[in-house]
């Protein structure tokens, strides 16, 4: 399958790496625009952009994907989009671009910790177990059907409580 991958954080790099090692063909990466950081306010590239460039993948950075990305993404003619910690809500128009729609890799055991920062909330709340859920993307925030999930035990939280 031809895949458009949408992600920004280091978590998304792990997901992209798995897809790159699979039989699927990543045809483009979409990430957030570079952000000013530090005292000098130098532009810093998202980690996923660096990874995409290392793998010679085309990178798109839309300020607002709903407004700026639709026509570009249609031209790519991919089979599916995969999102992981991307950071923008997709419109129905974007979701409908690919025949197999969009699936999302979410860093929690949904329905717990919908939205941004699921890993941080699991740690802050002292959860002993968290995980990853793969789900279909709908126009809401983390509202699509859950396809599969996998649990991970947070050992460090147990140690810190002693």
pLDDT in tens, 106-150: 877 776 666 666 677 677 767 777 778 888 998 876 677 888 888
The answer for residues whose C-beta is within 8 angstroms of residue 15's C-beta and 6 or more apart is 5, 7, 82, 84, 105
Higher pLDDT, 148 or 92: 92
Q: Is the peptide bond prior to 15 cis by the omega test (within 30 degrees of 0)?
A: no
pTM of the prediction?
0.86
Question: Same domain, yes or no, for 9 and 55?
Answer: yes
Question: Same domain, yes or no, for 153 and 79?
Answer: no
What is the model's pLDDT at position 113? Answer: 61
Last residue of a domain, one of 83, 103, 123: 103
State the CB neighbour count (10 A cutoff) for residue 85. Answer: 26
Confidence band (pLDDT; 50, 70, 90) for 156? low
Give the range of the structural domain holding residue 124, as residue numbers without chain letter: 107-162
| Arithmetic mean of pLDDT, 88-99 | 95
3-state helix, strand, coil in the chain (%, to 5): 30, 30, 40
Confidence band (pLDDT; 50, 70, 90) for 70? very high
- As for how many domains the chain has, the answer is 2
Among 120, 122, 128, CA closest to 154: 128
What token pair was written down for 121? Answer: 């909330």
Question: Same domain, yes or no, for 90 and 131?
Answer: no
pLDDT in tens, 5-20: 999 988 899 999 999 9
Q: Beta strand pairing status for 129-136 and 102-106?
A: antiparallel
What is the model's pLDDT at position 158? Answer: 46
Under a CB-based contact definition with an 8 Å cutoff, are residues 108 and 101 in contact?
no
CATH number for the domain harbouring residue 52:
3.40.50.170
pLDDT over threshold 60, residue 157: no
Q: Where are the beta strands (DSSP E) in 35-145?
A: 35-37, 42-44, 59-61, 80-84, 102-106, 129-136
Angle at 145 between CA 135 and CA 122, to 5 degrees: 55
Question: Same domain, yes or no, for 36 and 78?
Answer: yes
pLDDT over threshold 50, residue 21: yes
Last residue of a domain, one of 103, 131, 151: 103
Question: Same domain, yes or no, for 128 and 96?
Answer: no
């Amino acid at each position: 399958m031809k895949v458009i991958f949408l992600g920004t954080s280091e978590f998304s790099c792990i997901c992209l790496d798995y897809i790159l090692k699979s039989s699927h063909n990543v045809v483009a990466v979409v990430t957030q625009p570079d952000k000013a950081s530090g005292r000098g306010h130098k532009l810093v590239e998202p980690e996923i952009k660096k990874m995409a460039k290392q793998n010679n993948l085309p990178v798109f950075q839309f300020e607002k994907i709903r407004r700026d990305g639709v026509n570009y993404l249609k031209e790519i003619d991919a089979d599916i989009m995969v999102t992981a910690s991307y950071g923008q809500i997709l419109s129905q128009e974007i979701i409908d671009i690919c025949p197999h729609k969009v699936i999302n890799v979410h860093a929690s055991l949904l329905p717990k910790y919908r939205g941004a920062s699921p890993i941080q909330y699991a740690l802050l709340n002292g959860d002993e177990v968290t995980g990853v859920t793969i789900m279909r993307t709908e126009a809401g925030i983390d509202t699509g059907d859950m396809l599969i999930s996998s649990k991970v035990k947070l050992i460090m939280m147990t140690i810190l409580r002693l």
